[in-house]
Copies of this chain bind each other. A is one copy, B any other.
Amino acid sequence: MNFKEELKNYQKYMDDKLNDFFLDENSYDKRLKEAMRYSLLAGGKRIRPILMLATCKLFTEDYEVCLPFAIGMEMVHNAILIHDDMPCIDDDDFRHGKPTNHKMYDECTALLAGDALFNYANIVITDDLREELDIKKISMKIMALNEFVKAQDNMLSGEYYDTVSEGEILTLEQLEYMHRNKTGALIKEAVRIGALLGGASNQELQVLTNFAENIGLAFQIKDDILSEIGDSKKTGKPVGNDREKNKATFVTKYGIERAQEILDDVINEAMTSIRIFGDKSEFLLNLALYIKDRES
């Protein structure tokens, strides 16, 4: 199976799992559940859960052990996007080429749909945790959940810093803080949870954490580049958005060419670090290249 097929399989697998949620017909909150489904199924690339599952697969064929976290991760990712798009933060009208949640519904619905999606991740994870009988796995899953909610705290801190620093010229340290937290925290945690639940050794966990930090940084730099020179038909977002909003990004700070060079370096470092896993790392290596070369 080539990389693109494998990626599609993972995406379909996640889409199918996510498609099972929020279908219950409770007349009282039907529209809220609809709004949650709308964003959850609006066409994300499922990068975070795929990173988690593929990392877990380095260690075990039973990679479904981390499925509740993979689902929860995608819910949290979409929750923050809904809030991030709202008028009081980024005020964006489109995401993935579709109206943002508050445009499709309204601000009140978007606010509460985001809240409920954030929280629902914990329902999925603790429903599974309640059923777990293996004491070692219980302990690993508790650790994973603890790390996951801490990663969310870091994500919100980065998100906050992004909004308050709009229009300011940031130092490299400040820019890195923002990216490491806003985008990087969940990406890093996706890989760590896959490794933890797969049964990685401490040393392997360390290597993969380093890989994930670079992937997270690369992901954000690529986002910055696409925001400046991407094809808005493919990205689903208007081009030049960040510049117009005076956002501090790798591109507004260093220019396109230097940003592209940094991206190449960071991806190379990520790829080099996981060569210790040999052939098994092929999918993750290709995923790194995909993150670098993606058009949306």
Binds B, one of A83-91, A240-248, A249-257, A268-276: A83-91
| Residues in B neighbouring A177, C-beta threshold 8 A | 28
Identify A146's interface contact among B29, B80, B127, CB under 8 A.
Answer: B127
| Residues in B neighbouring A178, C-beta threshold 8 A | 28
Count of A interface residues, CB-CB < 8 Å? 49
Binds B, one of A51-59, A92-100, A154-162, A277-285: A154-162
With A138-B138, A149-B122 known as contacts, the answer to whether A112 contacts B160 (CB < 8 A) is yes
Residue-wise interface mask of A (70-88) relative to B, using a CB-CB cutoff of 8 A (1 in contact, 0 not): 0000000000100100101
A237 to chain B, nearest CB (A): 20
| Residues in B neighbouring A163, C-beta threshold 8 A | 108, 112
> Is A187's beta carbon under 8 Å from chain B?
no
State A161–B153 Cα separation when bound (angstroms). 28
> Is A150's beta carbon under 8 Å from chain B?
yes
State A46–B36 Cα separation when bound (angstroms). 31
| Residues in B neighbouring A109, C-beta threshold 8 A | 160
> Is A2's beta carbon under 8 Å from chain B?
no
Which residue on chain B has the smallest CB distance to residue A150?
B123
State A45–B130 Cα separation when bound (angstroms). 32
State A248–B29 Cα separation when bound (angstroms). 17
| Residues in B neighbouring A161, C-beta threshold 8 A | 28-29
Residue-wise interface mask of A (116-143) relative to B, using a CB-CB cutoff of 8 A (1 in contact, 0 not): 1011101100110110000100100011
Do the beta carbons of A120 and B153 come within 8 Å of each other? yes
A45 to chain B, nearest CB (A): 23
Which residue on chain B has the smallest CB distance to residue A161?
B28
Do the beta carbons of B108 and A123 come within 8 Å of each other? no
State A262–B270 Cα separation when bound (angstroms). 65
State A174–B26 Cα separation when bound (angstroms). 12
State A105–B272 Cα separation when bound (angstroms). 45
Given contacts A112-B163, A135-B135, 10 further A-B contacts (CB under 8 A): A29-B157, A89-B108, A89-B112, A111-B111, A112-B159, A115-B118, A119-B149, A122-B122, A123-B150, A129-B142
Which 9 residue pairs of A and B lie closest in terms of their CB atoms, listed nearest first? A88-B107, A126-B146, A29-B157, A122-B149, A32-B160, A116-B156, A28-B161, A88-B108, A119-B152
Interface positions of A (Cβ within 8 A of B): 26, 28-29, 31-32, 80, 83, 86, 88-89, 106-109, 111-112, 114-116, 118-120, 122-123, 126-127, 129-130, 135, 138, 142-143, 145-146, 149-150, 152-153, 156-157, 159-161, 163-164, 174, 177-178, 181
